[in-house]
Amino acid sequence: MHVVSATGVVIDGQGRVLIIRRADDGTWVPPGGLLEPGETPQECVVREVLEETGVTVTPLRLTGVYKNMERGVLTLAFLCAPLSGEPVPTDEATDAVWLTRDEVARRVPPMRALRVFDALDQLHPPVRAHDGHRLHGAGVS
């Protein structure tokens, strides 16, 4: 059994990335979550970012596909532009902040930070498999 999620890599006009501190485990990650029945990945990322941060976004492009082999989660990451709202704590996130690339590298777990860096650095979306801690497979892009 697999589930599909969507992650929003939201970049503001100063090049900062919107990151949340999850209420359930305290980790710093880009906002996102599981697709609901009848929902497109783009609709999911807009809904999840708003629910977790109070920021309304528009998805610009797919920036990566990530399979957590241990958990059976396939994540689609989207580069997003903020439209309105300011980051605020929510039921799902104890904090929502704008971080620089260096701050992302320091605070965000590596497999989640990779989604941010792929969105910032890649012209074509990579397809990556991982176990939550390290990449799997030879010739991973």
**Where is mean pLDDT largest: 80-84, 110-114, 116-120?**
80-84
In a domain, 139, yes or no: no
Per the structure, the count of domains in the chain is 1
Q: What is the 3-state secondary structure (H, E, C) of 27-89?
A: CEECCEEECCCCCCHHHHHHHHHHHHHCCEEEEEEEEEEEEECCCCEEEEEEEEEEEECCCCC
The Cα 8–Cα 54 span in angstroms is 13
In a domain, 140, yes or no: no
**What is the reported pLDDT for 140?**
46
Percent of the chain with pLDDT over 70: 96
| pLDDT(117) > 50 | yes
In a domain, 141, yes or no: no
pTM (2 d.p.): 0.89
CATH number at residue 39: 3.90.79.10
**What is the reported pLDDT for 50?**
98
In a domain, 101, yes or no: yes
Expressed as residue numbers, the domain containing 125 is 3-133
Q: Mean pLDDT over residues 90-117, rounded?
A: 96
